[in-house]
């Protein structure tokens, strides 16, 4: 099975982010990492391989040269090769989907396995849009993935409001993954050294397609600090405080 795992370079979700005066993210002191949901997707691809399926895994990133760090990280985790779709543009979800779709048309993976969302913008858009552009089946928010033997399909369990839902999705397909699917491994040090010499291909985004941005980022603002809470001495006081707060609205 040929698997694509798109990975996004995002600020470390545990880092404190600052906004510059121009309303942009202050990236100077920021640490970047693979979007944790994408890391889970890559881990799942590795597990499918370890379960016996013959698998070729390609990590794909969209962005500039800085993304090479995250692609090398994916190679160290176990991806066989990496592709960087090179662009300096502040790409929105639609643009990313169009580029990925074009790459999928050329490379014909059986499965695109990716995070349900990225931790920086939390749009949850690229997976579904990609499936739409390719007219492939999709299963989102996967919490369990099993290869359906011989059927050339996957059984995907999703956690929905009132329980679990199990889908069978024919390949090729796009599957987006949720947090509880697995816990990514830590990488052995020799694998990090070996990743230096694994193939990493660069493709100019403009050679794939020239999409027009649909969304423009106007400004970022830091939310105002929250006013400190108040401890109520009794349930009665709590209720009257609550009532006063509601009345004030």
Partner 1 sequence: MSTDAFSPLQGGAFLEKPPTGTFFKELFTADELFMAESVQQFMQKEVMPCAAAMEAGENGQMPGLLLKAGELGLTGAALPERYGGLNLPKTTQTLLTQCTAVCPAFAVACAVHSGVGALPLLLFGSDEQKMRFLPELAAGRKIAAFALTEADSGSDARAAHTTAVLLDEGGYRLEGSKAWITNGGFAHLFTVFAQLNGQFSAFLVESDAPGFARGREEQKLGLHGCSTRRILLEGALAPADSLLGEPGQGHLPAFCALNPGRLAIGAIALGMGRRALALAVEYAKQRKQFGRAIAQFGLVQRMLAQSAAQLWLAECALYRAAGEMDAALLSGAPMHLALADCAIECAAAKLICTETAQQAIDACLQIHGGYGYSEEYAPAQLYRDIRVFRIFEGTSEVVRLSLAEAWLKRLREGRLKEPQKGDQTADRLKQAAFAALQAGFEGFGRVQEKQQQAADLSDIAIAVYALEAAEMRSRQTIRNRTLAETAFQLALQQQTMHCNVLLQRLPGGQRVEMQNDLNAYELNSTLAQLVLENEGGVF
* Choice from 29, 88, 149, 221 touching partner 1 (CB under 8 A): 29
Task: State yes or no: residue 21 binds partner 1 (CB under 8 A).
Answer: no
* Nearest C-alpha neighbor of 115 from the set 184, 36, 17, 49: 36
CB of 214 to partner 1, least distance (A): 32
Site size toward partner 1 (CB under 8 A) is 17
User: End-to-end CA distance of the chain, in Å?
Assistant: 57
Task: State yes or no: residue 192 binds partner 1 (CB under 8 A).
Answer: yes
Q: Which residue, 39 or 44, has its beta carbon nearer to partner 1?
A: 39
Q: What radius of gyration do the chain's Cα atoms show? A: 21
Neighbours of 82 (CB within 10 A): 26
> φ and ψ at 245, to 5 degrees?
-65, -40
Q: Which residue, 27 or 243, has its beta carbon nearer to partner 1?
A: 27
CA distance 129 to 120: 18
Dihedral of CA atoms 18, 23, 29, 33 in degrees, nearest 10, equals 90
* Choice from 164, 196, 202, 243 touching partner 1 (CB under 8 A): 196
Task: State yes or no: residue 226 binds partner 1 (CB under 8 A).
Answer: no
Dihedral of CA atoms 139, 42, 170, 162 in degrees, nearest 10, equals -30
One symbol per residue from 75 to 114: x for binding partner 1 (CB under 8 A), - otherwise; what is it?
Answer: -x--------------------------------------
Task: State yes or no: residue 187 binds partner 1 (CB under 8 A).
Answer: yes
* Choice from 22, 28, 162, 216 touching partner 1 (CB under 8 A): 28
Site residues, partner 1 (CB under 8 A): 16, 28-29, 68-69, 72-73, 76, 186-190, 192-193, 195-196
């Amino acid at each position: 099975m040929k698997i694509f795992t798109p990975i996004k370079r995002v600020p470390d979700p545990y880092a404190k982010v600052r906004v510059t005066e121009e309303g942009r993210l202050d990236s100077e002191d920021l640490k970047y990492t693979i979007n944790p949901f994408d890391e889970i997707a890559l881990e799942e691809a590795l597990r499918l391989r370890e379960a016996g399926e013959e698998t070729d895994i390609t990590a794909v990133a969209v962005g500039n040269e800085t993304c090479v760090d995250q692609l090398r990280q994916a190679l160290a985790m176990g991806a066989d090769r990496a592709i960087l779709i090179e662009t300096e543009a502040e790409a929105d979800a639609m643009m990313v989907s169009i580029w990925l779709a074009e790459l999928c048309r050329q490379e014909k993976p059986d499965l695109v396995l990716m995070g349900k969302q990225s931790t920086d913008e939390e749009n949850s858009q690229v997976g579904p849009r990609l499936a739409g552009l390719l007219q492939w089946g999709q299963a989102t928010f996967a919490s369990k993935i099993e290869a359906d033997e011989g059927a050339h399909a996957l059984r995907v369990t999703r956690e929905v409001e009132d329980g679990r839902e199990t889908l069978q999705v024919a390949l090729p397909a796009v599957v987006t993954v949720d947090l509880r699917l697995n816990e990514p491994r830590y990488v052995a040090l020799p694998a990090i050294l070996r990743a230096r010499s694994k193939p990493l291909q660069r493709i100019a985004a403009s050679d794939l397609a020239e999409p027009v941005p649909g969304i423009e980022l106007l400004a970022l603002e830091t939310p105002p600090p929250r006013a400190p809470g108040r401890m109520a001495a009794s349930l009665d006081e709590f209720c009257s405080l609550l009532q006063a707060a509601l009345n004030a609205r």
